[in-house]
């Protein structure tokens, strides 16, 4: 009998919401406090943004598969995803603090950047993966608008220091690609991967 749910190895409420839109039931499979999940996101010197986000997603899925086995949970597909923002070859991950968020938003102001979201699904021994690349252009954002946005707290914990579905939408002049991918889970690619992995919602 095929499982009627998947495991989502992500703390992101946006990814959970997007899976719900696809009609996919899921259970969270989160890292334990003794697992250093942040260490998996370290950037290697000279690594391209696309190579980086795909490598990190694979490492997160490796950790989730090991966690699933260690806990002795019922079998079901496991999904992982990771999102990064890139300005040229410069990778902008989650800001360390408010000052770092100011720096990132100042870099993005008036420029076009890429949002890369890698998704990987493992079902048994089978693993499938995809990469979504979108482009976002920020208009010129004033220092006051950046300061007000950072003060809202929204940029913290977000790749590139902004959330497309939040107040930063006012900064966006143009975008191409996958809106859900910019949010953190490209729905078209995710649906295709789940089907390839043998899961039907």
pLDDT at 193: 96
Catalytic residue among 34, 62, 82, 148: 82
Q: Does 100 participate in catalysis according to the annotation?
A: no
Looking up tokens 């190895």, which residue turns up? 9
Average pLDDT over residues 157-180: 95
pLDDT at 135 over 70: yes
Work out the average pLDDT over 191-197: 95
Least confidently predicted of 18-22, 33-37, 105-109: 33-37
Domain total in the chain? 1
In this structure, is residue 152 part of a structural domain?
A: yes
pLDDT-derived band at 1 (thresholds 50, 70, 90) equals low
Looking at the domain assignment, is residue 176 inside a domain?
A: yes
pLDDT band for position 33 (50/70/90)? confident
Q: What is the mean pLDDT of residues 171-197?
A: 96
Q: Which structural domain range is residue 96 located in? A: 6-196
103 part of a folded domain: yes
The reported pLDDT for the residue numbered 200 is 78
Q: What is the 3-state secondary structure (H, E, C) of the chain?
A: CCCCCEEECCCCHHHHHHHHHCCCCEEECCCCCCCCHHHHHCCCCCCCHHHHHHHHHHHHHHHHHHHHHHHCCCCCCEEEEEEEEEECCEEECCCCCHHHHHHHHHHHCCCEEEEEEEEEEEECCEEEEEEEEEEEEECCCCHHHHHHHHHCCCCCCCHHHCCCCCHHHHHEEEEECCHHHHHCCCHHHHHHHHHHCCCCC
Does residue 173 fall inside a structural domain?
yes
Tell me the pLDDT band of 176, cut-offs 50, 70 and 90: very high
pTM: 0.93
Cα–Cα distances (Å) from 9 to 129, 182, 193, in that order, read 15, 18, 15
Q: Which pLDDT score, from 0 to 100, does residue 35 have?
A: 74
Average the pLDDT over 3-14 and give the result: 91
Please determine, for residue 22, whether its predicted confidence score (pLDDT) is greater than 90.
yes
**Domain-embedded: residue 155:** yes
Backbone angles phi, psi at 7, to 5 degrees: -95, 135
Contact criterion met (CB below 8 Å) for 65 and 57: no
Residue 66 lies in a domain: yes
Q: Looking at residue 130, which CATH number applies to its domain?
A: 3.90.950.10
**Residues 81-131 pLDDT 10s:** 999 999 999 999 999 999 999 999 999 999 999 999 999 999 999 999 999
* Residue 158 reports pLDDT greater than 70: yes
What is the average pLDDT across 33-39? 73
The answer as to whether 134 is a domain residue is: yes
Looking at the domain assignment, is residue 1 inside a domain? no
């Amino acid at each position: 009998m095929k499982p009627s749910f998947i495991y989502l190895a992500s703390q992101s409420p946006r990814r959970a919401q997007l899976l719900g839109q696809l009609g996919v039931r899921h259970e969270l499979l989160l890292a334990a406090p003794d697992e250093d999940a942040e260490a998996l996101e370290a950037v290697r010197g000279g690594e391209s943004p696309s190579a980086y986000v795909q490598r990190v997603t694979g490492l997160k899925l490796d950790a989730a598969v090991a966690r699933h086995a260690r806990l002795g949970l019922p079998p079901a597909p496991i999904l992982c995803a990771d999102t990064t923002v890139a300005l040229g070859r410069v990778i902008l991950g989650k800001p360390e603090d408010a000052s770092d968020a100011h720096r990132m938003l100042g870099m993005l102001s008036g420029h076009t950047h890429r949002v890369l979201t890698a998704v990987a699904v493992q079902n048994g021994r089978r693993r499938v993966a995809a990469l979504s690349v979108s482009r976002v252009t920020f208009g010129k954002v004033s220092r006051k608008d950046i300061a007000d946005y950072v003060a809202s707290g929204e940029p913290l914990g977000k790749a590139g220091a902004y959330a497309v579905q939040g107040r930063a939408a006012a900064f966006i002049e143009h975008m191409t690609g996958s809106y859900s991918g910019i949010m953190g889970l490209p729905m078209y690619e995710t649906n295709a991967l789940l089907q390839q992995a043998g899961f039907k919602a």
